[in-house]
Structure 1
């Protein structure tokens, strides 16, 4: 089973070292960034399961970083870890989209429990029902194999772990391959809502899938301006 990947964005090296040490001991895979600018670069390099970030940091503060990440992915869990303990600071964090907020000095055991709660909640979110005779658990998409229950995309010896939403969207696109699919229909069926915010998220997820599927030239995701998308696969 793949280790949970955590991005820790913290400019205090002593605190960062302590937190990373305890998370490593618990089996988490932790990457550390020392400020908000570096944090965004690290976020763009890999798929993370959780982000822990400070608020007051040089170059780019945590609020700004969280807003930029939320614009790319509304669903990735974000936990703020800050010495700012006023109600207005916490309210601002939650309005941006924080999943939790802990104050310094950090109690590491409490932090670990909060992380476990966030990840457990993330796993228990409702998913699109899997499998029937017309919708197998393993789906061949060009040269790729989508293992939907385990959310893995395989091509040759290369395996990529997908998020729940990525796996659901890819399976949905394959169901409607080679047809024009309206944006509103995708959002209603996969997200359960077609509001503007989730529409922006859809574009981000489509860009990710294009990147994941780039090794097979017979697969293409076309953006039909003002209408929707076409998922083209040469069967």
Structure 2
């Protein structure tokens, strides 16, 4: 692996951090280590990294909160969670906060490197979404709502809600495919990058959030087509 690959490792366990850093350094990676979420965010803002490895349980700022803050700043940098919390709910929460992968502790170093290689290969081979295409205006009118995509704001009259990056991406994608059946796998591939099981569970959570955000406009409806996908219905204004 080229030594140009820079990794930010945020891990409060000094022994685990030392083992991971030493192994990856020997494999040709450049690893910066931060001992907690607060210092991890400072490192992220100071340098450009190709991939982040985050522990979950840390002092001052846990991995979930750190990932959410990072996703507000950068929606593309790969995030790999490394945690001893291995219940399904923990993995689901990780993907909801923007993770690309999740590996359980104690970590096998060869598996960790393989996961890093897969993430980086996928990252380098997937084109970024072009958010400035002519058919994608910065402000999208959805029924009584307006989605300001660059600023991730959803407004209805004087009521404005700040969306997460993933919420804004999903809402915009659904609007593009409005009034037709959209398969779950297609949504996951286009918005999340793959159709992993845990990301599928995360999709259901995000759909529930969007229903809540849009509930005051009766012309908008998100239908769950069991076993297939969703329909994002927006009634056309009467002429």
SS in 1 for 2:114: helix
What is residue 13 of structure 1 aligned with on the other side? Answer: 14
What is residue 53 of structure 1 aligned with on the other side? Answer: 54
**Displacement over 4 Å in runs of 4+:** 192-198
Unaligned runs of 5+ in 2: 141-146, 153-239
Tell me the TM-score normalised to structure 2 length. Answer: 0.56
Q: Is 1:42 paired with 2:43? A: yes
Question: CA 1:106 to 1:193, structure 2 compared with 1: closer, same or farther past 3 Å?
Answer: farther
The 5 Å alignment of 1:68-87 reads 68-87=69-88
Q: Is 1:189 paired with 2:108? A: no
What is residue 125 of structure 2 aligned with on the other side? Answer: 124
CA-to-aligned-CA distance 1:46-74 (integer Å, 9 cap, x gap):
01110000000000000000000000001
What is residue 150 of structure 2 aligned with on the other side? Answer: 199
Matched residues in 2 for 1:2 and 1:198: separation?
36
Matched residues in 2 for 1:40 and 1:5: separation?
15
Matched residues in 1 for 2:41 and 2:132: separation?
30
Tell me the TM-score normalised to structure 1 length. Answer: 0.57
CA-to-aligned-CA distance 1:124-177 (integer Å, 9 cap, x gap):
0126xxxxxxxxxxxxxxxxxxxxxxxxxxxxxxxxxxxxx9xxxxxxxxxxxx
Unaligned runs of 5+ in 1: 128-164, 166-185, 202-235
Deviation at 1:111, TM superposition (A): 0.3
Matched residues in 2 for 1:50 and 1:197: separation?
29
Question: CA 1:94 to 1:107, structure 2 compared with 1: closer, same or farther past 3 Å?
Answer: same
What is residue 160 of structure 1 aligned with on the other side? Answer: none
Aligned length: 144
SS in 1 for 2:52: strand
